Amino acid sequence: MSQVYLDNAATTPLDPRVLDAMLPYLREHFGNAASRSHRFGWVAEEAVDKARRQVADLIGATPKEIIFTSGATESDNIAVKGVAYRHRDKGNRVITQQTEHKAIIDTCKFLEQDGARVTFLPVNDKGRINLDELADAIGDDTVLVSIMFANNEIGTVQPIAEIGRICKEKGVLFHTDAVQAFGKLPIDVEEMGIDLLSISGHKIYGPKGVGALYVRRKNPRVRCEAVLHGGGHERGMRSGTLNVPGIVGLGAAAEFAGREMIVEAERLGGLRDRLWDGLSSRLDEIARNGDAEHCLPNILNVSFKYVEGESLMMGFDTIAVSSGSACTSASLEPSYVLKALGVGEDLAHSSIRFSLGRFNTGQEVDYAVEQVVAAVRRLRELSPLYEMAQEGVDLSKVDWAAR
């Protein structure tokens, strides 16, 4: 078997049907959607309107509430900065949590430099926030709560509807980064009390470089400052010529995902369980990170004790995955998400994230099990920690510095 791609949480391949939908807008239908005076523009505008509807349908919103961006990072920036700046007079506190994507965390840190106060709620050992802690944290000075729908590293799903209810009761806006959940789990912004929501094209078999932000228009009407100025596009919230082909792709991808969502979620969950069962029945001393009960159907994060993540990935190099090891991060820090769960640093270095997708098969999963098991066994033979554990040494009592 050649390369097997199990890193769908990082990005997904373009669905051929999405490419087909996009091509005309890369070729003959090249008009600027803002050109109101000729057919080239009208055709482009129509395509964008259709995409707005396709995205809105998947979350129970109206098309007017969807603005297009360059991706979820930008959507997150608009939601957090836009709301914080707009409501500066009401208060300066934003509440979020410790396992958010950096697009939220870094944006919040930036606001802190500007005088905002940010509360980073802790999570339990499975990655879920505590609803009482959230309710207690919300005060008169709070302008926004931002909690991701589902986590990209461990797959843990937050109690979104309950969070929405608490925010409604307290009269504070609720934003959710739904990048990993969109198209995989049912989302209804009305039922769940969501006021702003970020999504990304390249996580749902659409193109990179495009995303969207849902901004509620009724009960309440959410107002937010723009981050990009220049022309007032997207109701003044996001200036700049629309990426028509990208938007068409995003819309098409959303429609396909919505159509196939229930069946696909079950299929992916089955494959994920097959992967976990395969690994756990053949290897001892491995642990699943996250919440098995409240989890995305396609993500499996496992720590393989005594073996480091980057070397493990080298060991099964025909399989593409991600690791929480420091060696694989640009900052040489181990995963902050696993740290927030209380997973020890040594186990963070030993973690691998498998994220399945539309184009993965049972055969690929079985192959992955085989390859991973072989690599873990081989690397444990190379591991001084495994050797010490076999000898009965309690690794937690070893004084490493004294050597």
Nearer to another protein, 251 or 309 (CB): 309
Judged by CB under 8 A, the residue of 89, 284, 293, 384 near another protein is 384
Q: Which of 326, 336, 367, 377 binds another protein (CB under 8 A)?
A: 326
Strand pairing report for 211-215 and 286-289: unpaired
Label the pairing between strands 211-215 and 196-200. antiparallel
The nearer residue to another protein, 48 or 347, going by C-beta atoms, is 347
Segment 334 to 363, residues that bind another protein, using CB under 8 A: 334, 344-346, 349
- Given the complex with another protein, which of 149 and 306 has the nearer CB atom? 306
Contact status: 383 vs another protein (CB under 8 A): yes
**Which window, 22-30, 131-139, 275-283, 384-392, contacts another protein (CB under 8 A)?**
384-392
385 binds another protein (CB under 8 A): yes
The nearest distance, CB 313 to another protein, in angstroms, is: 9
Check if 108 is active-site.
no
Nearer to another protein by Cβ, of 262 and 398: the residue is 398
Backbone angles phi, psi at 80, to 5 degrees: -75, -55
- Where does this chain touch another protein (CB under 8 A) — which range of 12-20, 29-37, 118-126, 382-390? 382-390
SS (H, E, C) 124-176: CCCCCCCHHHHHHHCCCCEEEEECCCECCCCCEECCHHHHHHHHHHHCCEEEE
Which of the following is catalytic: 108, 167, 224, 327? 327
Other Cβ atoms within 10 Å of 269 Cβ, number: 15
The answer to whether 241 touches 2, Cβ cutoff 8 Å, is: no
The one among 16, 27, 221, 400 contacting another protein by CB under 8 A: 400
Those residues with Cβ within 8 angstroms of residue 219's Cβ, 6 or more apart along the chain or in another chain: none
If one asks whether residue 36 binds another protein (CB under 8 A), the answer comes out as no
CA distance 47 to 60: 20
Residue 231: Cβ within 10 Å count:
12
By CB under 8 A, is residue 284 in contact with another protein? no
In sequence order, what are the beta bridge partners of 267? none
Q: Please identify, among the stretches 43-51, 120-128, 262-270, 378-386, the one whose residues bind another protein according to the rule CB under 8 A.
A: 378-386
Beta bridge partner(s), residue 323: 352
Tokens of 280: 């756990």
What is the binding site for another protein (CB under 8 A)?
A: 306-311, 314-315, 325-327, 332, 334, 344-346, 349, 381-388, 391, 393-403
- Catalytic residues, by residue number, are 327
